[in-house]
C-alpha cells in the first residue's frame, strides 16, 4: 500500500493540475499534507434557542415561515427581502439583502434554518445564510472548519476537497504514537483525530482532536531532540577526560579569590561529564559577572592535563584578546600554552598557531569561530568552550567529526534561557546554572535620567574618576547604520574631551582595526585611560573590574537584555557601581524598559520581564532563537504539554527497546528523515 506521504493530491477526486499548483503554494503536495492542513477556527452553525442569544450576536436558529415574503427592489441588482418567521414561539422578521431569487422558496408553513445577526430590539434577524430542512440542510447544526485560503482555492472548495480526501484516504491514516502513550494521556487514535479536527460534532470533540494532534506535534519534536541527546550519550567515541583532582585543587589554590559554592558545584558537574567517554553537550548559564570564565578555565585545564587540547570560541576579537590574556595569566604557573586565532591575524602568525595546534605545542587556542574552519587541525581536541550565546550547532559538530574529532562541548551564556527556550531550542543540552555572584558584590545602582540632566551626569563621572575608578559612555545605537553609530561615538568623544580636558578618554567603535581596538581596551584595562566612549562593541563579556560607571546615551534604543549586558560591564569587583540611563522614551515599551532596569539588576528577572514585553519568538532575535514554528501547538498555552512530551520522549529514547522493537518502527522512520542524524548510524 502506498503511503499517504507519497500520494500526490491529484489522487483526490476534484483536484485538477491547476488546483494542485495552487495547493503547492500553501506547502501542500501530498494527501498527507492536505489531511494535515488544519482549520484555524470553526464557524458555528449549531442551532440555538433565541433566549440564549445576545443582541448583535451571530446565531443559527430554526423556525417556521409565517405569511408571504415581501420583496423591495432598488435599481438593477439591489433588493431587500423580508418575511415573518416564528422562532421558539416568537415572531421574528427575517431580512435578506440582494437575494431576490429566494423569494419563491419562501412559502408559508415551510421550516427554515436561518444564520445571521440578531437584533434584539427590533426582533429582527439579518440573514447571511439560510437552509431548508426538507432539502437536507447539511451545514446547519455543525461546526464548519475555516481554513487559510487564497487564489481560486475558496473556503467552500477547501472544505469540499478535504472532506473528499477524508472519504477516500481517511481509513489509510496510520497511527504514529505507541499505545502506552495514548493510554497514558487518553488520546484518541490518529485517524480519528484527523477526521474530527476537520469536522467536529461539537467543540469538546474538536478540542479532544486538537489535544491529540498538539501532543503528537510536540512529542515528535522532542523525540528528535531527545534521540539526538541519548544517541550522543550512549556513543563511546568521545574523549574521556580523566584528570587527577589534585591538579585541579592546586590550580584553584593559585586563584586570587575563593570560588563561590555555585562555581564549585558547576565545575563538578562539568568534570563529571568530561570524565565519561561520551560527548558532553552542556550549557552553562550565569548572570553577567557571575564568574563563568574561571569555570571554563578549569574545564580547559582538565582537558590539557589529561593530554588533550582545548578551544575557547568567542563572538568578537576584543573578547578573544581579553580571554587570551586572562587565560595566559591564570595558566602561567601551570605551564599551559595559550594561542590566539582570529580573522585579522597576519598570515604568518596564523601559520605558526596552526602548526602549534597540529603538533600539540599549543594547548589551548582562543579565538573567534575561525577556530573551527577548514584548515585548522588539532593534534587531539578534547574540549570546545563557546562563550556568550555563540551556539555551537550540530553543523559545527559534524565538521569536527569529519576531521575525526568528537570533543566535549561547553556553551556559556549570560542570557538566562527562559523555560520555553530551554526546552525547545536548547532541549538537547544538559544545563548548569551559576546562581550566585561572587561575595562582596554590591547591587549596581541604576538611574534613569532625562537628557536635560547631562550636567549632573558629567559631575558623576568626575566624582568616580577622582575616586580612582573608570567609566564607560555608550553611544546610541542607530539601527542598520553602523556608519551613523560610529559618527555618534566620534562626536560624543569630542564632547567629552572638551568637558574633561584633563582626562584620558579612549574611543572604541567597529571601524577601528583589530589592533587599534585591542590597544584601546588594553589601555583601559591597565587604567591608563579614565573613560572610554564606545559603540556597543563592548557589549558582551568585557571585564575591567575597576570600571564602576556605565552611562548609556539614548538608552531606549536598546533592548532589555542588551541593556543588562551593558550594565554587566560594571559591578565586577567590590566597588559600588552605577548605571545611568539617559533617555526620553516616547513609547510605552521604552518607558517600561527603563523601569525594569531601575527596579532590578537580576538577569533572570530582567529576562523574565523582557519575555513578557516581547514574547518568546523575539527573544534572541527571531533568527537565532531556535524556537521552531509549530503548526498547531502554541508555546504559551501548550507549555504543560510540551513538558510532558519532553519527559515521554526522554524516557522512550533512553530505553534499549526503543531502538529495536517493531512497535517503534514508525517513530524511528520519523527520526531517520531528520538531517540531524547525517553521518550518524541509526539502525
Ligand atoms: P562572566 O560570568 O560575566 O563571564 P567573569 O568570568 O568575567 O564573569 O567574571 C567577572 C569577574 O569576577 C572577573 O573579574 C573575575 O576574575 C571575578 N571572579 C570570578 N569568580 C570570582 C570569585 N569566586 N570571587 C571573586 N571574584 C571572582
Ligand atoms: Mg564572560
pLDDT digits (tens, 9 = 90+) for 240-276: 888 888 999 999 999 989 999 999 999 999 999 999 8
For residues 378 and 248, is the Cβ–Cβ distance under 8 A? no
How confident is the prediction for the chain on average, in pLDDT?
Answer: 87
pLDDT at 587 over 90: no
Closest ligand 1 atom, CA of 294? 6
pLDDT at 451 over 80: yes
Query: Which stretch of 140-154, 223-237, 483-497, 605-619 has the lowest confidence by average pLDDT?
Result: 605-619
- Mean predicted confidence (pLDDT) in 125-133: 93
Does 463 lie in the same domain as 385?
no
Last residue of a domain, one of 551, 573, 600: 600
Q: For 152-167, write each residue's pLDDT tens digit.
A: 899 999 999 999 999 9
pLDDT-derived band at 678 (thresholds 50, 70, 90) equals very low
Q: Which of 292, 328, 414, 438 to mutate to test the pocket of ligand 1 (most atoms within 8 A of CB)?
A: 438
Does 276 lie in the same domain as 411?
yes
Q: How many angstroms does the Cα of residue 577 sit away from the middle of ligand 2?
A: 18
For residues 329 and 251, is the Cβ–Cβ distance under 8 A? no
pLDDT at 596 over 90: yes
CB crowding 389-416: b at 16 or more within 10 Å, else e: bbbbeeebbeebeeeebbbbbbbbbbbb
Q: In sequence order, what are the beta bridge partners of 471?
A: 531, 549
Does 97 lie in the same domain as 29?
no
pLDDT at 674: 66
pLDDT at 663 over 50: yes
Cα 653 versus chain centre, distance: 24
| C-alpha Rg value of the chain to the nearest Å | 33
Which residues, other chains included, contact 410 with Cβ-Cβ below 8 Å and sequence gap of 6+? Answer: 270, 280, 282, 284, 296, 299, 383, 384, 385, 386
pLDDT at 386 over 60: yes
pLDDT at 119: 94
Does 354 lie in the same domain as 252?
yes
Q: Which residues does a 6 A CB cutoff place in the pocket of ligand 1?
A: 257-260, 263, 286, 288-294, 414, 438, 541, 543, 545, 572
Collapse the DSSP code of 282 into the 3-class scheme (helix H, G, I; strand E, B; otherwise coil) and give the result: strand
Closest ligand 1 atom, CA of 290? 2
Q: Which three cell numbers stand for residue 121?
A: 430590539
pLDDT at 487: 81
Q: For 388-423, write each residue's pLDDT tens digit.
A: 655 555 566 667 666 667 889 898 988 766 666 677
Say if 452 falls within a structural domain.
yes
Q: Which of 293, 328, 540 to mutate to test the pocket of ligand 1 (most atoms within 8 A of CB)?
A: 293
Last residue of a domain, one of 408, 434, 460: 434
Say if 646 falls within a structural domain.
no
Q: Which of 254, 259, 289, 385 to mutate to test the pocket of ligand 1 (most atoms within 8 A of CB)?
A: 289
Say if 612 falls within a structural domain.
no
Does 406 lie in the same domain as 529?
no
Closest ligand 1 atom, CA of 258? 23
**CA atoms in the 13 A half-sphere facing the CB of 588:** 2
pLDDT at 609 over 50: yes
Last residue of a domain, one of 583, 600, 617: 600
- Mean predicted confidence (pLDDT) in 533-558: 86
Q: Which of 266, 294, 299, 602 to mutate to test the pocket of ligand 1 (most atoms within 8 A of CB)?
A: 294
Q: For 454-475, write each residue's pLDDT tens digit.
A: 999 999 999 999 999 999 999 8
Does 421 lie in the same domain as 280?
yes
Say if 161 falls within a structural domain.
yes
Closest ligand 1 atom, CA of 296? 6
Q: Are strands 78-87 and 90-97 parallel, antiparallel or unpaired?
A: antiparallel
pLDDT at 535 over 90: no
- What is the reported pTM? 0.68
CATH classification at residue 107: 2.40.50.140
Does 392 lie in the same domain as 457?
no
Query: Rounded CA gap, 15 and 657, in Å?
Result: 43
pLDDT at 394: 58
Does 10 lie in the same domain as 106?
no
Q: How many angstroms does the Cα of residue 676 sit away from the middle of ligand 2?
A: 30
Express as a percent the part of the chain with pLDDT over 70: 91
Q: At what angle do helices 639-653 and 203-234 cross, to 10 degrees?
A: 40
Q: How many angstroms does the Cα of residue 289 sit away from the middle of ligand 1?
A: 6
Q: In sequence order, what are the beta bridge partners of 535?
A: none
Q: In what order do the strands lie in the sheet with 309-313?
A: 338-341, 364-367, 309-313, 381-386, 408-413, 281-286, 430-434
- As a dihedral over the C-alpha atoms of residue 74, residue 76, residue 77, residue 79, rounded to 10 degrees, the angle is 30
For residues 42 and 204, is the Cβ–Cβ distance under 8 A? no
List strand residue ranges (DSSP E) for 138-266, in order: 143-146
Query: Rounded CA gap, 382 and 134, in Å?
Result: 79
For residues 529 and 554, is the Cβ–Cβ distance under 8 A? no
Closest listed ligand to the CA of 319: 2
Q: How many angstroms does the Cα of residue 512 sit away from the middle of ligand 1?
A: 28
Q: At what angle do helices 317-331 and 292-305 cross, to 10 degrees?
A: 60
Does 362 lie in the same domain as 421?
yes
Nearest protein CA to atom 16 of ligand 1, as residue: 291
Collapse the DSSP code of 121 into the 3-class scheme (helix H, G, I; strand E, B; otherwise coil) and give the result: coil
Which of the pair, 671 or 63, is modelled with greater confidence?
A: 63
For residues 301 and 447, is the Cβ–Cβ distance under 8 A? no
Say if 676 falls within a structural domain.
no
Say if 401 falls within a structural domain.
yes
pLDDT at 108 over 90: yes
Task: Calculate ∠ Cα 319-320-325, nearest 5°.
Answer: 95
- Mean predicted confidence (pLDDT) in 66-89: 92
Query: Rounded CA gap, 497 and 639, in Å?
Result: 53
Sign of CA dihedral 162, 166, 170, 175: positive
Say if 124 falls within a structural domain.
yes
Nearest protein CA to atom 5 of ligand 1, as residue: 291
Q: How many distinct structural domains can be found in the chain?
A: 4
Q: How many angstroms does the Cα of residue 541 sit away from the middle of ligand 2?
A: 4
pLDDT at 334 over 80: yes
pLDDT at 194 over 50: yes
Does 311 lie in the same domain as 430?
yes
Nearest protein CA to atom 9 of ligand 1, as residue: 291
Q: How many angstroms does the Cα of residue 429 sit away from the middle of ligand 1?
A: 24
Structural domain harbouring 579: 445-600
Which of the pair, 225 or 187, is modelled with greater confidence?
A: 187
Nearest alpha carbon to residue 509 among 489, 493, 524? 489
Which residues, other chains included, contact 85 with Cβ-Cβ below 8 Å and sequence gap of 6+? Answer: 63, 64, 65, 66, 91, 92, 93, 94, 112, 114, 125
pLDDT at 623: 40
CATH classification at residue 158: 1.10.150
Q: How many angstroms does the Cα of residue 55 sit away from the middle of ligand 2?
A: 61
Nearest protein CA to atom 4 of ligand 1, as residue: 292
Q: How many angstroms does the Cα of residue 287 sit away from the middle of ligand 2?
A: 9
Nearest alpha carbon to residue 333 among 370, 299, 305? 305
Which of the pair, 230 or 81, is modelled with greater confidence?
A: 81
The most confident of 22-31, 220-229, 232-241, 625-634, by mean pLDDT? 22-31
Does 22 lie in the same domain as 1?
yes
CATH classification at residue 558: 3.40.50.300
Query: Which stretch of 24-38, 236-250, 479-493, 560-574 has the lowest confidence by average pLDDT?
Result: 479-493
Q: How many angstroms does the Cα of residue 313 sit away from the middle of ligand 2?
A: 12
CB crowding 226-248: b at 16 or more within 10 Å, else e: bbbbbbbbeeeebbebebeeeeb
pLDDT at 398: 65
Sign of CA dihedral 117, 119, 120, 123: negative
Q: Which of 291, 295, 320, 324 to mutate to test the pocket of ligand 1 (most atoms within 8 A of CB)?
A: 291
Nearest protein CA to atom 20 of ligand 1, as residue: 291
Query: Rounded CA gap, 38 and 567, in Å?
Result: 46
Does 505 lie in the same domain as 417?
no
Say if 658 falls within a structural domain.
no
pLDDT at 679 over 50: no
Q: How many angstroms does the Cα of residue 293 sit away from the middle of ligand 2?
A: 6
List strand residue ranges (DSSP E) for 491-613, in order: 505-508, 531-534, 547-553, 578-582
pLDDT at 20 over 90: yes
Which of the pair, 350 or 618, is modelled with greater confidence?
A: 350
Q: For 267-307, write each residue's pLDDT tens digit.
A: 999 999 999 888 888 989 888 888 999 999 999 999 999 99
Collapse the DSSP code of 447 into the 3-class scheme (helix H, G, I; strand E, B; otherwise coil) and give the result: strand
Which residues, other chains included, contact 529 with Cβ-Cβ below 8 Å and sequence gap of 6+? Answer: 470, 504, 505, 506, 520, 523
Amino acid at each position: 500500500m502506498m503511503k499517504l506521504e507519497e500520494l500526490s493530491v491529484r489522487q483526490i477526486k476534484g483536484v485538477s493540475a491547476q488546483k494542485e499548483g495552487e495547493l503547492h503554494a500553501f506547502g501542500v503536495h501530498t494527501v498527507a499534507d492536505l489531511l494535515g492542513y488544519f482549520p484555524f477556527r470553526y464557524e458555528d452553525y449549531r442551532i440555538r434557542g433565541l433566549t440564549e442569544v445576545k443582541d448583535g450576536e451571530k446565531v443559527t436558529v430554526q423556525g417556521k415561515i409565517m405569511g408571504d415574503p415581501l420583496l423591495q427592489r432598488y435599481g438593477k441588482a439591489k433588493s431587500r427581502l423580508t418575511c415573518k418567521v416564528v422562532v421558539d414561539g416568537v415572531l421574528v422578521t427575517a431580512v435578506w439583502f440582494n437575494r431576490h431569487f429566494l423569494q419563491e422558496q419562501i412559502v408559508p408553513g415551510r421550516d427554515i434554518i436561518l444564520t445571521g445577526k440578531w437584533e434584539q430590539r427590533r426582533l429582527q434577524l439579518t440573514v447571511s445564510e439560510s437552509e431548508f430542512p426538507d432539502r437536507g440542510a447539511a451545514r446547519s447544526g455543525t461546526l464548519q472548519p475555516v481554513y487559510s485560503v487564497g487564489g481560486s482555492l475558496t473556503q467552500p472548495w477547501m472544505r469540499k476537497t478535504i472532506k473528499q480526501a477524508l472519504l477516500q484516504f481517511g481509513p489509510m491514516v496510520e497511527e504514529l504514537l505507541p499505545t502506552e502513550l495514548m493510554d497514558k494521556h487518553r488520546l484518541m487514535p490518529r485517524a480519528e483525530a484527523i477526521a474530527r479536527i476537520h469536522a467536529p460534532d461539537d467543540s469538546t470533540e474538536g478540542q479532544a482532536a486538537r489535544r491529540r494532534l498538539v501532543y503528537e506535534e510536540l512529542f515528535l519534536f522532542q523525540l528528535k531532540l531527545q534521540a539526538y541527546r541519548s544517541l550522543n550519550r550512549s556513543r563511546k567515541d568521545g574523549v574521556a577526560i580523566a584528570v587527577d583532582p589534585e591538579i585541579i585543587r592546586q590550580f584553584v589554590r593559585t586563584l586570587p579569590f575563593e570560588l563561590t559554592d555555585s562555581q564549585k558545584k558547576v565545575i563538578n558537574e562539568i568534570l563529571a561529564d568530561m570524565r565519561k567517554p561520551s560527548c558532553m553537550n552542556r550549557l552553562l548559564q550565569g548572570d553577567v559577572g557571575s564568574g563563568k570564565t574561571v569555570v571554563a578555565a578549569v574545564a580547559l585545564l582538565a582537558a590539557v592535563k589529561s593530554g588533550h587540547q582545548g578551544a575557547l570560541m568567542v563572538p568578537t576579537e576584543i573578547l578573544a584578546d581579553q580571554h587570551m590574556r586572562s587565560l595566559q595569566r591564570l595558566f602561567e604557573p601551570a605551564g599551559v600554552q595559550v594561542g590566539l586565532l582570529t580573522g585579522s591575524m597576519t598570515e604568518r602568525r596564523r601559520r605558526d598557531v596552526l602548526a602549534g595546534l597540529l603538533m600539540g605545542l599549543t594547548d589551548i587556542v582562543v579565538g573567534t569561530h575561525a577556530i573551527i574552519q577548514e584548515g585548522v587541525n588539532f593534534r587531539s581536541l578534547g574540549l570546545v568552550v563557546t562563550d556568550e550565546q555563540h551556539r555551537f550547532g550540530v553543523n559545527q559538530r559534524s565538521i569536527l567529526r569529519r576531521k575525526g574529532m568528537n570533543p566535549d562541548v561547553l556553551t556559556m551564556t549570560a542570557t538566562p534561557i527562559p523555560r520555553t527556550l530551554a526546552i525547545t531550542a536548547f532541549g538537547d543540552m544538559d544545563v548548569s546554572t551559576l546562581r550566585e555572584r561572587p561575595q562582596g558584590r554590591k547591587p549596581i545602582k541604576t538611574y534613569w535620567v532625562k537628557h536635560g540632566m547631562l550636567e549632573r551626569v558629567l559631575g558623576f563621572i568626575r566624582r568616580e574618576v577622582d575616586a580612582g575608578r573608570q567609566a564607560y559612555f555608550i553611544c546610541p545605537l542607530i539601527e542598520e547604520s553602523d556608519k551613523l553609530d560610529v559618527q555618534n561615538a566620534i562626536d560624543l568623544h569630542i564632547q567629552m574631551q572638551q568637558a574633561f580636558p584633563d582626562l584620558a578618554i579612549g574611543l572604541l567603535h567597529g571601524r577601528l582595526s583589530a589592533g587599534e581596538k585591542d590597544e584601546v581596551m588594553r589601555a583601559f584595562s591597565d587604567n591608563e585611560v579614565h573613560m572610554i566612549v564606545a559603540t556597543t562593541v563592548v557589549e558582551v563579556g568585557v571585564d575591567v573590574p575597576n570600571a564602576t560607571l556605565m552611562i548609556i546615551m539614548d538608552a531606549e534604543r536598546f533592548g532589555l537584555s542588551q541593556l543588562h549586558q551593558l550594565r554587566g560591564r560594571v559591578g565586577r569587583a567590590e566597588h559600588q557601581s552605577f548605571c545611568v540611563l539617559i533617555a526620553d522614551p516616547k513609547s510605552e515599551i521604552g518607558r517600561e524598559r527603563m523601569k525594569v532596569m531601575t527596579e532590578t539588576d537580576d538577569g533572570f528577572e530582567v529576562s523574565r520581564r523582557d519575555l513578557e514585553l516581547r514574547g518568546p519568538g523575539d527573544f534572541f532575535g527571531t533568527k537565532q532563537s531556535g524556537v521552531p514554528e509549530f503548526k498547531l501547538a502554541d508555546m504559551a498555552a501548550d507549555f504543560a504539554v510540551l513538558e510532558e512530551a519532553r519527559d515521554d520522549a526522554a524516557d522512550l529514547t533512553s530505553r534499549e527497546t526503543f531502538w529495536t522493537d517493531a512497535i517503534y518502527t514508525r517513530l524511528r522512520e520519523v527520526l531517520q528523515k531528520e538531517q540531524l542524524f547525517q553521518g550518524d548510524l541509526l539502525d
